[in-house]
Amino acid sequence: MRPGIALIGLLVCLLSGIGLLCAREPAEAATTERVVVNRFSGVAIEGFDPVAYFVTGTAEQGRAEFEANLWGAVWRFRNEGNRASFLAHPEIYGPQFGGYDPADIARGVTVAGNPYFFAVVAQRLYLFSREANRDAFIANPERFLYEVGKRWPALQERLGQ
């Protein structure tokens, strides 16, 4: 390959909006946002329907035709009913702490939750980075939420910077 062509290719990659044309790795969640979103698409919780966790008790992928924009994120839903429920009560259906793992927040760090590791406790959705964190949280949510209450405000401020 000629050096001039390689240089042009590099410049195209650098100028193409954070290298989107050259991305070879799967999209990852942004960790500098107050809501965990895919850094390339802006989709929250990797496109999983937050209402489905309450309705079916399972992690279900939302569909692009049922989207809503809220809190600087794109949310996807399985159907129009779930979308309407979320928009009417986002504080209930949205993942607590913006989708960050409460077990990690209790330790003083923000780690994006995985949509497959979840718990609905006291009518609130929590996402966890690891299965072990979810299991520990379920065993004693009050202890974790107490620690989160002390650490979350400062961590949340840093996420907004």
* Residue range 100-149, pLDDT digits in tens: 999 999 999 999 999 999 999 999 999 999 999 999 999 999 999 999 99
Bridge partners for 75 per DSSP = 68
**Angle at CA 38, nearest 5°, toward 139 and 7?**
140
In which band, very low, low, confident or very high, does the pLDDT at 158 lie, cut at 50, 70 and 90?
confident
Mean pLDDT of the chain: 84
Q: How far apart are CA 157 and CA 69, in angstroms?
A: 22
| Residues listed for the chain | 161
Percent of the chain with pLDDT over 90: 73
Report pTM.
0.79
Q: Where are the alpha helices (DSSP H) in the chain?
A: 3-15, 52-55, 80-88, 90-93, 102-106, 131-139, 141-159
Long-range residue pairs from 86-91, CB within 8 A, at least 24 positions apart, any chain: 86/50, 86/51
Closest CA to 49 of 101, 115, 113: 115
What mean pLDDT comes out for the span 48-57?
98
What mean pLDDT comes out for the span 54-78?
96
